[in-house]
Structure 1
């Protein structure tokens, strides 16, 4: 919703200010379809040329995040901590019983309590692979933390591709606007024998290209890339929490302390409160009793 509000403010302030200053939209509206065809078409073609099919699909899908915001909400972080608590406690009480949950998370009763997390392949894979490695005596906390850090960096780099692709388009739009404007000037020069009022409109139409390129770059596509980067970075904290808790577990800290380490390393605005998490963990313990 806030994304739509931002777009509305941009259009109202830019075109409202233009009209308030005495500008007329007629010349812009007349030239807009042709300028948009040249600039938007060239930008789209450059985007397709510089990306493969999967990257294009990924970017188009990620644009929705600009309006939806981060996928993981504070309640999801609380659920993740509860899930990790159950798995850690089970691993210490009955390592054999843990195997059925980490080998088949889709059919696990523990993962099944948290369907949103269960449906995220990256989170489930990170949890299961790390706990499976620990059960195979690959349990050096420093080595595991280094491996997890590299994995998280790789995942973040992949998730950031959409941001880079959009920012590249934004960087090129002003230049494409100049291309459209130059073509408009060439058209005007071909009609140099026309009266001044006609030439004025033609020059004005040519300048719409420059305006449109800059407006799209800094008013829409650039902010889209920035917002998408913020969303991706915020969602990355969800996976970093998994790393913090599981590494703390390898240090053989008590299960409750492992969970608190993860909670404390979560950004404040999405961090579940101590009391809310304590109530959730009590419910988990009572269900297991």
Structure 2
């Protein structure tokens, strides 16, 4: 919702202020299709040149997140903590039974109670790989923690590709706007014998190119890139909770303490209260999906 409101405000304030100041929209509207073709078309072409196909697809897919927000919510954090609680409890009480859950999580009765997490390959792999490593009786928990940290760094780096690609496009748009404006001036110079009122319209149309490049860069593409970065970093916090809980387990803390460590490290907007989590864990102990 915030993204839609922001777009409406950008258009309303820029063009509203322009028209209230006495500006005429006909010159902009006449030049807009051609300038947009030059600037935005060239920007898309440069984007495809500068990024692999998978990054381009990933970026197009991620644009929707600007309006939807992060994938995870406070409910998902609560479910994650309950899932880890169940897995750690099995690991402590019946280590042999744990294998069926971490080797085939898609068929696991525990994972199946949390379908959204089960459907996220990154979260499932991180949980299963770490618990599999823990079952190998590592003498130094810091070894496993270092492996997890490298996995998380790699995932964050990958998830930021969309933001970096869009920011690069935003950086190039003002220059492409100048290219469009120069072409407009070249066109105007070829008609130097025209009356001043016609030349004025042609120069105004050329300047639309500069305006459009800056407007798109700082009004839309740049903010989109910044929002995607914020969302990627927010979603990354969900995976760091997995690390916090499982590392606490490697240090042999009680299962309840491990889960509490995860709760306290959750972002404030997603963090369930102690009472809320305790109620969810009580339902989990009773075999009821919270």
Q: Structure 1 length as normaliser, TM-score?
A: 0.99
Question: CA separation in 1, counterparts of 2:159 and 2:83?
Answer: 24
In the TM superposition, residue 11 of structure 1 has moved relative to its aligned partner by 0.2
Structure 1 residue runs of 5 or longer lacking an equivalent are none
Contact 1:152 1:239 in 2 (8 A): yes
Question: CA separation in 2, counterparts of 1:104 and 1:154?
Answer: 24
Runs of 4+ in 1 over 4 A off after TM superposition: none
Aligned to 1:137: 137
Contact 1:139 1:250 in 2 (8 A): no
Q: Give SS of 1:22's match.
A: coil
Question: CA separation in 1, counterparts of 2:219 and 2:137?
Answer: 54
Question: CA separation in 2, counterparts of 1:150 and 1:140?
Answer: 17
Aligned to 1:116: 116
Q: Give SS of 1:137's match.
A: coil
Aligned to 2:183: 183
Aligned to 1:283: 283
Asked if 1:81 is matched to 2:91, the reply is no
Question: CA separation in 1, counterparts of 2:154 and 2:210?
Answer: 38
Write the mapping of 1:97-246 to structure 2, written as runs, cut at 5 A: 97-138=97-138, 140-246=140-246
Question: CA separation in 1, counterparts of 2:232 and 2:138?
Answer: 30
Q: Structure 2 length as normaliser, TM-score?
A: 0.98
Question: CA separation in 2, counterparts of 1:213 and 1:223?
Answer: 14
Structure 2 residue runs of 5 or longer lacking an equivalent are none
Cα shift readout 1:176-201 (whole Å, capped 9, x = no counterpart): 00000000000000000000000000
Question: CA separation in 1, counterparts of 2:222 and 2:140?
Answer: 43
- Total equivalences in the alignment: 288
In the TM superposition, residue 141 of structure 1 has moved relative to its aligned partner by 1.6
Q: Give SS of 1:268's match.
A: coil
Contact 1:133 1:139 in 2 (8 A): no
Question: CA separation in 2, counterparts of 1:138 and 1:41?
Answer: 55
Instruction: Give me the CA root mean square deviation.
Output: 0.8
Question: CA separation in 2, counterparts of 1:189 and 1:253?
Answer: 77
